[in-house]
Amino acid sequence: MSSNVRLKATWMKISLANAGKRFNREWIFRNADLEFSSSNSYAITGPNGSGKSTMLQCIGGMFQLSEGSIQYETSNKPVTNEDAYKHISFCAPYLDVIEEMTLVEFLQFHNQFKSFIKNFSISNIIEEIGLKEALNKQIRYYSSGMKQRVKLAQSIFSDTSIVLLDEPCSNLDLKGIELYHSLIEKYCKQRVVIVCSNDEIEYSFTNKRINVLDYKTANIRA
């Protein structure tokens, strides 16, 4: 397939102002003033348990901020927080696929909620991720690496301006990691890409790095 990806929205910006998130009395991050925009790729780094995934999920609207604000903007128009999900796709090892479905059925189901990139058919997608031989097999019979390829497919091939990737190479072998980098290179250049990881192999292509430790504070009792 051509690498000339045509998206519904070709420009997007996310702005966090004085953003913070806490669980009970523990602040995961605080005082974050961050901006993410299309045609840029970002890495959120930090040691295990430092709050990388929490920050990523706040950016994607899965968690509400405890303080501060987040704003989404596309084509110079504001997007409400309630509608932001339409512009976001997400891949993470803790998100499940529907294992009782075949790959074809799952992608058809997913396409009802988020359409795929223009001019991409389900058969095109399956061929791109190297699972043509398993397209009619139930996903529960897939290896963990094959399932991760499916998760990458549903995020990268969705027609969204923002692609959020949490430890995207989990369970992938060397060939799968090469596929991941190829998909990013071919289909994500125009988009906002944010990778959450402490393994450089997953974010080596990014042009901006954010260390979550820079936004950590001691546990503050409020």
| 185-200 per-position pLDDT tens digit | 999 999 999 999 999 9
- According to DSSP H, which parts of the chain are helical? 52-59, 103-111, 122-128, 144-156, 174-187, 200-203
To 10 degrees, what angle do helices 144-156 and 103-111 make? 30
Q: Which domains does the chain have, with CATH numbers?
A: 12-215 (3.40.50.300)
Is the whole-model pTM more than 0.75? yes
CB 193 within 8 A of CB 41: yes
CB 98 within 8 A of CB 70: no
**Residue (of 84, 187, 95) closest to 150 by Cα position:** 95
pLDDT band for position 178 (cuts 50, 70, 90): very high
Predicted confidence at residue 8, as pLDDT, reads: 65
Buried b / exposed e across 100-135, counting CB within 10 Å, b at 16+?
ebbbebbbeebbeebebbeebebeebbebbebeebe
Structure confidence by residue, pLDDT tens digits, 76-124 = 899 998 999 999 999 999 999 999 999 999 999 999 999 999 888 999 9
The structure tokens 């803790």 sit at 94
Task: Order across the sheet with 208-211: list the strands.
Answer: 88-91, 162-166, 192-196, 40-45, 208-211
pLDDT at 15 over 60: yes
Q: What is the DSSP letter of 95?
A: S
